Structure 1
Amino acid sequence: MTPDPMPDDTALLDEVQRRTFGYFWDFAHPVSGLARDRARSADDPGDDTMAVGGSGFGVMAIVVAVARGWVTRAGALERLLVMTGFLERADRFHGVFPHFMDGATGKAIPFGPLDDGGDLVETAYLMQGLLTARQYFDGPGSAEAELRARIDRLWRAVEWSWHTRGGEPVLYWHWSPAHGWAMNHQVRGWNECLIAYVLAAGAPDCAVDPAAYHRGWAGGSEFRNGRRYHGIALPLGPDYGGPLFFAHYSFLGLDPRGLVDRHADYWAQNLAHVRIHEAHGRLNPGGFAGYGADCWGLTASDDDRGYAAHDPANDRGVVSPTAAVSSLPYWPEAAMRAIRHFRFGLGGRAWGRWGFVDAFNESVDWFAPTFLAIDQGPIVCMIENHRSGLPWRLFMSAPEVRRGLLRLGFSSPALGG
């Protein structure tokens, strides 16, 4: 019997995107429509723990699905109206959503003993998705107008300036009505949080001063780097760049092509980060099974010991498919090698009901049974940014995003400069 021919790149990307999108469409919570934090197995019916940031990624994935013809515009609009209606009734703290919430009731689910209130960064990811949807659903019909109005209300309610603790030149990640600022976690870079500062600077209400970005975000001890790893110069971030979600979460919507400010060129930053991870996999200094030019990419994910933020400086032998797959816009050739390997080179063990499993460690013959919203979402959106640039184009068209970038001193072809 002649084996089926290997799909070409277009067909393979179609398959990966569409299968992964199912996580946000078919596995969404039946009451809220929001994204469940995780599926614990291929046949997991799901629970009530909703991921706020992952739901923002899911909103962007729904926009992609309409553009690709996987769902109808009317069907997507109906789902988004359910989601935004639920969000308007859900727990918020000075307009800021918690990290997790109950998908049936909208009540906050504590992420930790002191983290039971507002999570500014997860809220930023949610707003990134909602603003993208607002820009896409721009038609004259009453349902599209209602969706835009709901998104505007949710967006305008976020009190970004509250998270400066009275005007300090930095954002704080968490606030709780029971514990106040006890978490005491300042949002300083370089990491996954750039989007929070852009939105905070561009907000129509409760915007923050640009000093918070330049003195707070860019004033962290791990912001500037300038050293070389595997011969690759890294402008920003910790040694070896950190987990690859740094190059993904904020850049589902922020277009890094030509995005420059006084601190860095963000395309150069993210490409260097990806190249360091590819080189780490290819050179395999830890001698882990499976690593190579077609098997690389470390990020936050489940692993055989629990959950961790994996990177070349904290390597447990765990490869997370989302890391390389979501890097497709930065280095298509290397990412496609990895996508083909994950899909066809591992005996099918890395491929499941909702696309690629969360992670695997061949050194201990472990493949995750799980799928996570924050890992599946970037796959759909970053593949689309490579293919059409749609999420980038929509998000960068929002007047508030443009205002935020300009107030912080960014230039970009998308801004006309």
Structure 2
Amino acid sequence: MVTFSDVDAVSQDVVTPADIELLDLVQRQNFRYFWDAAHPVSGLALDRLGEPPQPTKDLVAVGGSGFGIMAIVVATERQWISRADAVERLRAMVDILDRAPCYHGVFPHFMDGRTGATIPFSRKDDGGDIVETSFLCAGLLCARQYFDGDTAAEIELRRRINVLWDGVEWNWHTRGGRNVLYWHWSPNNGWSLDHEIRGWNECLITYVLAASSRHHAIDPAVYHRGWAESRNFMNRRTYYGIELPLGVEYGGPLCFAHYSFLGLDPRGLRDRYADYWDQNVRHTLINREHCLRNPNKHKGYGPACWGLTVSDDPQGYLVHAPYSDRGVIAPTAALASLPYTPGFSVHALRHFFHDLGDRIWGDYGFTSAFSEGKNWYSRVYFALDQGPVIAMIENYRTGLLWRLFMSCPEVLEGLARLGFESPYLD
């Protein structure tokens, strides 16, 4: 059994030059999803690509587009595209965001990439989605910090990003001053979905950005009395010999350790509740250990085949976690965990590519998921799968996106307001 005390010895397994070449290939292939396969008019990220087709070829994902912006930054830094081409693509993305309907500055979950019109996520979810907007803003802020040149194009790009960022009314989503953020608001349905955002899950970034706003910041009490006062926030129980500081039993899907941390650097990040590097490493180890122990006897699970998160499934797009283990492995889960468990993640990468590549590797990297027990291999790519892979591989290799996001003065002020400690605040 692998326990947390063993992590320094086993998860830092040697990453060879051949592994680095493979990581580079994965990043470049994933980037194609956000560049070659982006919406042809706006450049925003398609929610999904493959079979079955999405409801409309113009459906783009707001949060996935934020991940795509980070991918463009990585590609520019690695010189896969020119700086001028990157700025031009970002300008097109900002153009459609400027014109699109927003709801107190908050964007919807889905948009029409051609017109900017809101595409309802569900019958009553037809307005602002503050979580997807936070993923978008994290990407925009990374781009603002990266494209810091004195050309007219880069100066204008930064100005327009600031207009979008400053326009988000984060405090509107406290529903008149309550001590919690609400996920959705609609001009047609108001607050009828009544979805409070309480931890622990993928939404830490939402609270951090809400506290960082220059014009519409939330009070710190919203974080401490809303996010941190959920029955699923503190844990401190032990699973497979590994204590888990925060979250639901066994940690939940691994996207909780990814989505908020594409830009937010967990290294040395802590507050009164947890050390967030420690939290994410432990969560990843529990997820992997579950796959090694394989209590449900799913075919294919093992040291080189692990990773449960939100992904495609024979029954649709579903949550996969130790408590809801359907025998479906998502490559994004292990690969986006590379900073936390590099040796274990590279071990999985070798298996996914060399042993299963003929079934799950394609034009835009690895497809969403597979189940060897059901002889099922997804033919779908999702922006929310592809984005964390390229971003977290880059953070493992160079820390680029972490440095960019944490260089935002507003973010540092927001973290300090919420009582966080970080090396960037020293």
TM bin, normalised by shorter chain, reads over 0.9
1:321 matched to 2:304? The reply is: no
| 2:278 aligned to which of 251, 259, 268 | 268
Equivalent in 354, 366, 369 of residue 344 of structure 1: 354
Choose from 370, 387, 402 the match for 2:412: 402
Alignment-derived partner of residue 80 in structure 2: 70
Question: Are 1:286 and 2:324 matched, yes or no?
Answer: no
Is 1:133 the counterpart of 2:143 in the alignment?
yes
- Contact kept in structure 1, 2:48 and 2:382, CA below 8 Å: yes
Describe how 1:388-399 pairs up with structure 2 within 5 A.
Answer: 388-399=398-409
Off by >6 Å, runs of 4+ in structure 1: none
The aligned amino acid for 2:381 is F
Asked whether the equivalents of residues 304 and 348 of structure 2 are also in contact (C-alpha less than 8 Å), the reply is yes
Q: Secondary structure at the match of 2:196?
A: coil
Q: Per the alignment, in what secondary structure is the counterpart of residue 364 of structure 1? A: coil
Identify the residue that residue 253 of structure 1 maps to in structure 2. 263
Q: In the alignment, is the contact (CA less than 8 A) between 2:298 and 2:373 conserved in 1?
A: yes
Distance between the aligned counterparts of 1:271 and 1:242, measured in 2? 13
Which of 183, 198, 201 in structure 1 is aligned with 2:193?
183
- CA deviation after TM superposition for structure 1 residue 281, in Å: 1.1
Q: How do residues 18-417 of structure 1 correspond to structure 2 at under 5 angstroms?
A: 18-41=28-51, 47-346=57-356, 348-416=358-426
Task: Work out whether residues 201 and 207 of structure 1, in 8 Å CA contact, stay in contact via their aligned partners in 2.
Answer: yes
- Residue type matched to 1:379 in 2? V
Q: Within 2, Cα distance between the matches of 1:299 and 1:307? A: 10
> Partners of 1:156 and 1:414 in 2: how far apart?
23
SS in 2 for 1:329: coil
Shift of 1:186: 0.5
CA distance in 2, matches of 1:140, 1:305: 50
Q: Secondary structure at the match of 2:388?
A: helix
Aligned mates of 1:41, 1:310 — CA distance in 2: 20
Percent identity for Structure 1 against Structure 2: 61
- Output the amino acid matched with 1:74: A
C-alpha contact (below 8 Å) 1:20/1:376 kept by paired residues: yes
Separation (CA, whole Å) in 2 of partners of 1:64 and 1:152:
21
Q: CA RMSD in A?
A: 1.4
Shift of 1:305: 1.3
Note if 1:9 corresponds to 2:19: yes
Are the equivalent residues in 1 in contact too, given 2:360–2:379 (CA < 8 A)?
A: no
Cα distance 1:338–1:179, how it changes in 2: closer, same or farther (>3 A)? same
Q: Tell me how far 1:7 sits from its aligned partner.
A: 7.3
Task: Report the Cα distance in structure 1 between the residues aligned to 2:17 and 2:311, rounded to whole angstroms.
Answer: 28
Give me the TM-score of the superposition, normalised by structure 1.
0.97
Once the 2 structures are TM-superposed, how far is the Cα of residue 181 of structure 1 from its aligned partner? 0.1
- Looking at structure 1, the residues matched to 101 and 319 of structure 2 have their Cα atoms a distance apart, in angstroms, of 28
Cα distance, 1:347 vs. partner? 5.0
Q: Residues of 2 paired with 1:62 and 1:167: CA distance?
A: 37
Task: Sort the Cα spacing of 1:54 and 1:347 in 2 relative to 1 into closer, same or farther, 3 A.
Answer: closer
Tell me the number of residue pairs that the alignment of Structure 1 and Structure 2 aligns. 411
Post-superposition shift, 1:173? 0.4
Q: Are the counterparts in 1 of residues 281 and 341 from structure 2 also a CA contact under 8 Å? A: yes
Task: Note if contact 1:42-1:352 (Cα within 8 Å) is conserved in structure 2.
Answer: no
Cα deviation, residue 282, structure 1 = 1.0
Amino acid at match of 2:101: D
CA distance in 2, matches of 1:347, 1:65: 23
Deviation at residue 9 of structure 1 after TM alignment: 1.1
Residue pair 2:104, 2:172 contacting (<8 A) in 1 also: yes
Residue 59 of structure 2 aligns to which amino acid in structure 1?
T
**1:22-50, CA deviations, whole angstroms, 9 ceiling, x for partnerless residues?**
00000000111100000024999x81000
Q: For 2:265, what is the secondary structure of its paired residue?
A: coil
> In the alignment, residue 189 of structure 1 is paired with which amino acid?
G
Q: Tell me, what secondary structure is at the counterpart of 2:312?
A: strand
Residue 3 of structure 1: aligned partner: none
Listed as ranges, the gaps of 5+ residues in structure 1 are: 1-5
